[in-house]
Amino acid sequence: MDIRSVLIKDTTKEEREDIIRKSLDCGGGCENCSSCWLGGGSPWDMYQEYIDGKKEIAEINSTVFRGKDPELAYRDYIEGNRSFDEVSAYYR
């Protein structure tokens, strides 16, 4: 697996568009993403500042989950302590 930097300083606009396109293509459909209804709006709009070279991906992701990594944000759901809907409602 070829691991490359996704930092703005290491990518062109075209490469950033490709990174987002590939990242959003999970194969599971939009219902598995949660970006839109967690306040991110359209996933393409959400990452436009990254594509334009204004904000890093990590910076954008942290605003959607109130500064938490998505896995940490959903830890209560993953561990069976709260429902998916309960956790998601907190981040809306």
DSSP string, 11-65: --HHHHHHHHHHHH--SS-GGGT-TGGGTT-SHHHHTHHHHTTSS-HHHHHHHHT
pLDDT tens for each residue of 37-76: 555 556 678 889 999 999 998 888 777 767 776 677 778 8
CB neighbours of 14 closer than 8 A, spacing ≥ 6? Answer: none
* Structural domain spans, the chain: 11-91
pLDDT tens for each residue of 24-40: 765 555 555 555 555 55
Phi then psi for residue 47, to 5 deg, are -100, 10
Phi then psi for residue 41, to 5 deg, are 70, -155
